[in-house]
Amino acid sequence: MKVSAHVNSRTAQHHDVCHLGTNPRSRGFRWYSCPVNFAQLLFPDFSLILCGYLVCRYTALNRTVWEQVETLVYFFLFPVLLFHSIVKSPLDIAATSSLIGAGWAMGLTGIMLAYSLPYLPWLGQHIARRDHAASAQIAFRFNSFVGLALADRLAGPQGLLLIAVLIGVCVPLFNVGAVWPMARHAQRGLLRELMRNPLIIGTASGLAANLLGFTLPIWLEPTISRIGAASLALGLMAAGAGMQFGALGRAKVLAAALLTIRHFLLPLVAFGFSKLFHLDPVQTTVLLAFSALPTASSCYVLAARMGYDGAYVAGLVTLSTLLGMVSLPFALGVLRAL
């Protein structure tokens, strides 16, 4: 089975300035290459983040309200979106194996870079081990809400399918990398934390259903599609509502190192692995977008839940969200053009 590319109506309307091409390595994939206005591309998603921040800060819909919204998105809406994104298109494991390998290689590299910081000659003496344990996850975790919204705008249903697969295979790895430094302090079982993760449950069930040939009934498709659309909009607004700046005055060396890995080194690593694994243009675009995403908004929730300084991690999440407006154009505009 092969994954067929779909071009959304906006792209189809501009076919006169776009060039349709194929690639001998792409196994039938087709893509459109045309001038991209990254400010226009990213504006809808980051405007929702800004909207969430302003609504949370200046209206009665305060942080207490948005915590409930985030819970709804994380435990129900978003897993449904992941499941639907994977189930609705036939999945060729052989065709996506290179993308999966590149995603894992990039993730492992990010985890190793984050873990190495306390042991580097100059940096190590300026990094508190407890702060590092809580915030190392900032360097390699990703905001799935932004990723899914961006993939849809970049490559339509095909982009959604590919990034859903990346999310599925990388969430377990990245969660292990995030939980491992903190698990001993909180005395929680690592396997139990992973098995209860709704993103893993949604993706694993979607992959199983796809490979078994399961399809959703036609009458159920509109409802599931609306749930997916709601998860993207509410997820982006919840990411904005969670932005905090108050705790950023300390551990500046650690913050700078982690954010450099997240927003500069990982896109370079992803670019290198896209060449090493011979990814086709669509897969390369998805991997580069994936590598440059802001970090996961749930980082501070995990840190606080496991007994660490959630406010400091929330500040790093906020900076990462803002830096995503720089790293995404860097990855998709500069590196993809090389």
pLDDT 10s digit of each residue in the chain, 338 long?
443 444 344 444 443 334 434 443 444 444 434 445 666 667 777 888 889 889 999 999 998 898 898 888 888 888 888 788 778 767 677 778 999 999 999 999 999 999 999 999 888 888 988 899 899 999 999 988 788 888 888 888 888 889 988 887 888 788 788 878 876 555 566 677 667 777 778 878 888 888 888 888 999 989 998 998 888 788 888 878 877 777 677 788 999 999 999 999 999 999 999 999 999 999 999 999 999 999 987 787 678 767 788 778 888 988 898 899 899 999 998 999 88
**Do 171 and 122 form a contact (C-beta atoms < 8 A)?**
no
Q: Which two tokens stand for residue 175?
A: 């969660």
Unique residue bearing structure tokens 């994977």? 86
| pTM metric for this prediction | 0.76
In-domain check, residue 195: yes
> What pLDDT score does 3 carry?
39
d(CA 305, CA 312): 13
Run of H or E residues at 193: helix 190-195
Which pair of tokens denotes residue 213? 């040939």
User: Element (H or E) spanning 33, and its range?
Assistant: strand 30-33
Q: Which two tokens stand for residue 26?
A: 């792409």
The answer to the question of residue 9 being in a domain is no
Q: Would you say 295 and 320 are in contact if contact means Cβ atoms under 8 Å apart?
A: yes
Distances (CA, A) of 148 to 104, 235, 290, 300, 333: 18, 10, 9, 21, 19
Identify whether 22 is part of a domain.
no
Q: Other CB atoms closer than 10 Å to residue 2's CB: what's the count?
A: 13
- Residues 267, 328: contact at Cβ < 8 Å? no
The residues, any chain, with a CB within 8 Å of residue 70's CB and separated by 6 or more, are 235, 238, 241, 242, 297, 298, 301
In this structure, is residue 13 part of a structural domain? no
What gap in Å lies between CA 300 and CA 242, rounded to an integer? 9
Number of CB atoms found within 10 A of residue 36's CB = 14
Domain residue limits at 53: 36-335
Q: Which of 53, 45, 49 is nearest to 150 (CA)?
A: 45
Q: Distance between CA atoms of 40 and 227, rounded to whole angstroms? A: 25
Query: Which CATH number characterizes residue 106's domain?
Result: 1.20.1530
pLDDT at 186: 56
Q: Which residues contact residue 266 at a Cβ distance below 8 angstroms, ignoring those fewer than 6 apart?
A: 106, 109, 110, 139, 140, 291, 292
Indicate whether 29 belongs to any domain.
no
Cα dihedral sign, 266-270-273-277: positive
Q: Is residue 27 part of a domain?
A: no
Q: 3-class DSSP state for residue 190?
A: helix
Dist. CA 211–CA 119, nearest whole Å:
43
> How many separate domains does the chain show?
1
Whether 6 maps to a domain, the answer reads no
Check residue 270 and give its pLDDT: 97
Residues whose CB falls within 8 Å of the CB of residue 87, separated by 6 or more in sequence, listed in order:
206, 209, 210, 214, 215, 216
Q: Tell me, what's the pLDDT at 15?
A: 38
pLDDT score of 184: 57
Does 16 reside within a domain? Answer: no
Predicted local distance difference test score (pLDDT) of residue 178: 86
CA distance 281 to 301: 35
